[in-house]
Structure 1
Amino acid sequence: MVVNLKAKKRLASRVTGVGVHRIKFDADHLTDVADAITRENIRSLITANTIKIDSFTGTSRGRAQTKKAQRNKRGTKQGSKQGRKGARVGKKEIYVAKVRSLRRLLKIAKDRKELTNPEFWALYKKVGGNTVRNKAHLRQLMEEIVAKRKN
């Protein structure tokens, strides 16, 4: 006897919160499924594995990710670059990054009590005025100040 179980599938999809096409019935127990009328009956059949839910299959992003990685990799080597250095990364961005890293270094030195407050501010102003070239230069200036204080 062939039974139309469309309504049962719809009910099971409502109970589980998945799409109708993901609901699968066990072929051996179709009569049990046909007898189930309430949501509670459907839940008990799901726990008994008479009604199964297929796992969700999405679109694979693997190929798309590979292509994106290839696109991003192109044109980054020395011969492919066009325009001057400032055209790719602006002067201001470079300055801001440098100043932030130098100020971080200064703050750490001050927190460790390696610099006194007036020494800290003297160096801070030098960093802001773009007198300090890089971290190594800042460390050198800090050593000079500390040596001067000890003498």
Structure 2
Amino acid sequence: MNLTTQKRLAASILKVGLNRVWIDPEQIDEVSRAITRENVNQLINDGVIKAKPKKGISSFRSKKIAEQKKKGKRKGRGSIKGAKNARSPKKQVWMTTIRALRKDLKQMREDEEINATTYRKLYKMAKGGAFKSKSYMKTYARDHDLIK
């Protein structure tokens, strides 16, 4: 039995798409006799024609992934997008390094491991980018007999 007209009318009345119109399979004969909008509306009121519920999108998988990322998973080489400097800009790396070096220099000066002249020399070298880490700077100072 062709119920396309009834389905179209029902969809229009229920304000849903054609795929969401449900017709009771036991009362198809009754539905096929409904040819006017009023007849279809009556069938909707009787519960012969209904709108199927909306299908939602499950967020289970996205929640699971978010939970794993929170734990530090899914961060391997294959997940990395963007260049090295896009993920941690050069300036940010420089700021982190230089702040650590300067903090360490101040501490060494306060603890009197180095004098003011040596402090100034190492400070200038650090600013010039001579040391890439605190350990490099300390090694340099030890090798050149700058630490007391």
Question: Which one has a bigger Cα radius of gyration?
Answer: 2
Q: TM-score, length-normalised on structure 1? A: 0.49
